Structures are given as structure tokens and as C-alpha cells.
Amino acid sequence: MSAEMAADNPYNAPGAELDSGNDELYSPSIFSFKGRIGRLRYLAYGVGTSFLLMLVMIPLLGASAFMGGEVGTSVVGMIGIAVFYIATIVVSVMFGKRRLNDLNRSGWWFLLFIVPIANLLLAMYLLFFPGTEGGNDFGPAPQANSTGVLILGWMLPALFILGIVAAIAIPQFAGVVPQ
């Protein structure tokens, strides 16, 4: 009789599923303004697109130097540099907005990169703070990083450390060069 009364009681909690359904993961695409990307993917996408932009820019500047005599002085070089900077700004805004979305912040926070000192704090925030667990206001969490993302993501810190070691070691060996 108590089971029948429990079913008829209007004050019982509903038997609905309380899971919000935000446990699914999605595979982020590189060139998209929607979605979220984590810290390592943010670093990897930034390094990868910088290398791609440089691979396009170096031959363009070489061609402009061949045509105009001096790098960056010809019309081709000036147009190439302008396109390069516009592409860099668009890619930076795209990745920054998605990283801010992973931190459950609006993409408008990216405008803090215009403000001195605040841009350094925002850069540290984007690189070092973990994103929200599971889904947030901007969508489900991204999938785990692939091997390519891991390699590209660790390439920048490795190059940074290698640069510091080279800056210390090269002057030490500069006087040892045979003549």
C-alpha cells in the first residue's frame, strides 16, 4: 500500500533524468569561429598556422626581392605583407575567441589584447588556466588531443628552451672557432 501511495503523492520528486546531456564531445575544426579549444590545442593551432603563413610569406618576399631589388619595397612585397598581417589578425582572433569560449568567457574579452598590461594578463590567462569541465555555455568539451596536436603544441616550448640554451652556449663557443 505504501508503494501505491508513493506513486499517487504529488509531492514526490519527478522520476526524470537529471543529466543535462552535455557529456558529449566534439571534434573541433581548425578554421572555425564556433566551439571551444583547450590550452594545448590553442598553442598547437597557433604554431601550425604561423608556420603555414610563413611558408607562404617567405617565397612571396623572395619574389618581391627578385622583382624590386629590396625585400618589402616592391608593390608585390607590400601587398604580401598586408595580406600576411590581415591573415594573422583573423587567425589570432579566431583562436583567441574559441579559447575564451573554453574558459566560459565571451569572445569580446579578446579586445583586452588592445589594452597594455591587460594583454599580458589575458595571454597568461589563455595559456595557463584550464577550461571548464564538460559542456558550458559555448558548447560541449572538445575531444582529446591528437598526436599531431601534441607534437605541435610542445614544439613552441621546446623551441623556447632550445633558444635559451643556444643564447647561452653560442657566445661561450664563439672564441673557440678555428681560423
Model-level pTM greater than 0.75?
Answer: no
pLDDT at 2: 52
* CB neighbourhood size of 36 (10 A): 25
Q: What are phi and psi of 85, to 5 degrees?
A: -65, -40
Does residue 75 carry a pLDDT above 70? Answer: yes
**pLDDT, tens digit, for every residue of 121-172?**
999 999 999 988 888 888 888 888 889 888 888 888 898 899 999 888 888 7
Report, as an integer, the average pLDDT of 102-122. 93
Closest CA to 137 of 90, 100, 92, 109: 100
**Nearest in space to 30 (alpha carbons), one of 6, 49, 56, 12:** 49
C-alpha cell at 113: 589584447
Instruction: Give the HSE-up count for residue 135: Cα atoms under 13 Å, Cβ half-sphere.
Output: 11
